[in-house]
Amino acid sequence: MTGIRDWIALQQRLAPDLLSTMRRRYRILQQVYYLQPVGRRSLAQVLETTERILRSEVDFLKEQGLVAVDSSGMRLTSLGESLLESLADTMSLLDGRAELEDRLRRALGLEQVRVVPGDSEERPEVKRDLGYAAARILRESLRPGDVVAVTGGTTVAAVAAQMPPGAAREVLVVPARGGIGERVEYQANTIAADLAEKLGGRYLLFHVPDRLSEEAYRTLSGDPQIAEKLGQIRRAGIVVHGIGQAIYMARRRALPEEEIAFLEERGAVAEAFGYYFDREGKIVHQQFTLGLGLEDVRRMRRVIAVAGGRSKGAAIVAAARAVVPHVLVTDEGAAEEILRELRVPDGDHP
C-alpha cells in the first residue's frame, strides 16, 4: 500500500493531468456499469458533461476493449469490469479516502471501512456506489456452503442490484427477519431472491410481518414451519444489514405515537434488526419480530453494515457500538459526520 501511495505522490508532482484523466475515465466506467445498457445522452446527463466530450472518452475506452457499443447502448466488456474492480483500492488512495477509511476504522474499532465518494442524500447515484462496494466485499467474503442473511431497505437492495452476475457460489440467501409491510422491492425476501439469483445460489422466503403484537409473536414462534425456517435463518454466518434513524423508522413502521414519544424520551437515534439504540449503543426498545437477534448477529463470521448520508452519522455510530460490525460501507457525507459525532480531530487517531 505504501508503494501505491508513493507512486501517486510522484504522479501528482510529475503528471497531475494524468491522474485527472484517470479519475474521469474511472467514473465513466463506473456509471456505464451501473446503468448498462446506457445511451450517450443519458450517460452525459449523469456525468454532467457534454455528449461531444463524452464521445471522445468513449471512443478511447472502446479502443482499449473496455466498453462495447451496440444498438441498445454502451456496456462494459469483461475486461472493463475486471479493470473497474481492480482500480477500486487505487482510486480510494488517489481521492484521499483511504486515510478517511483508516480514521473511521480506528475510531469505531472495526476491521474494515470502505468510504465511497459523495453523499447519498444529495446525490441518489451514490447509493449505487455503496451497493457496488458492499457487493465486492460480500463476494470476497463468501465460502461454499455459506448462509447469507440480508435485511430490507433501499441500501441493501442496492447491494443485490450491484452484485455482478455469474459469481456462482453454493450459498443460501435468507431474509434476516420478516418484512411484509415494506414496499415489495425493498423487502428482505425480495432482496434475498435477487441476490441469490446473482450468486447462482438458493434462497429462502420468510412470509411474516416485520412488526408483531406480543400475542402474534408467541403464536407464530410456536408454529413448526416458522420454527424450521427460523432455524435456517439462524444458521447464517454472514449478514448484510442497513442502519436506520430511529424516529424515521418508527414512523415508517407506523408505531403508535406513545411508542414514538417513548423513543424520543429515551434518546433513541438508531434502528437495526428491530432494536432501537441510544447514542451509546444501548437498547432502549425492541420490537416483537421474528428473525435474527443481536445474539445471532454477534456470533457471525462476517457482519457487513451498509449505510450512508450525512444525517445518518449519529445512527451509524450508535449501531456500530451496539452491533459491532466487522465491516462498514458508507459515504463521505456520513463519514465526516461520524468523525464529528466522535469528536475525532483532523489527522488524529483515537
Q: What percent of the chain has pLDDT over 70?
A: 92
Q: Give the separation between CA 44 and CA 48, rounded to whole angstroms.
A: 6
Q: Which domains does the chain have, with CATH numbers?
A: 2-89 (1.10.10.10), 97-341 (3.40.50.1360)
Interior CA angle at 103 toward 101 and 108, to 5°?
Answer: 95
- The confidence score (pLDDT) of residue 19 equals 77
Please compute the mean of the pLDDT values over residues 287-316 and round it to a whole number. 95
- The confidence score (pLDDT) of residue 218 equals 86
Query: What is the per-residue pLDDT across 146-185, written as a single tens digit (0 to 9) for each?
Result: 999 999 999 999 999 999 886 656 899 999 987 655 678 8
Q: Give the separation between CA 48 and CA 218, rounded to whole angstroms.
A: 54
Q: Model-level pTM? A: 0.87
Would you give the DSSP letter of residue 330? Answer: E
DSSP output for 202-236: EE----SBSSB-HHHHHHHHT-HHHHHHHHHHTT-
> Quick check: 198 pLDDT over 90?
yes
Contacts of 244 (CB under 8 A, 6+ apart): 153, 270, 271, 272, 315
Q: Give the separation between CA 308 and CA 245, rounded to whole angstroms.
A: 11
Nearest to 148 by CA among 186, 203, 189, 194: 203
Please compute the mean of the pLDDT values over residues 211-216 and round it to a whole number. 82
Q: Are strands 244-245 and 268-272 parallel, antiparallel or unpaired?
A: antiparallel
Return the C-alpha cell found at 301.
463470521
Q: Give the separation between CA 150 and CA 97, rounded to whole angstroms.
A: 27
For residue 349, name the pLDDT band (cuts at 50, 70, 90).
very low
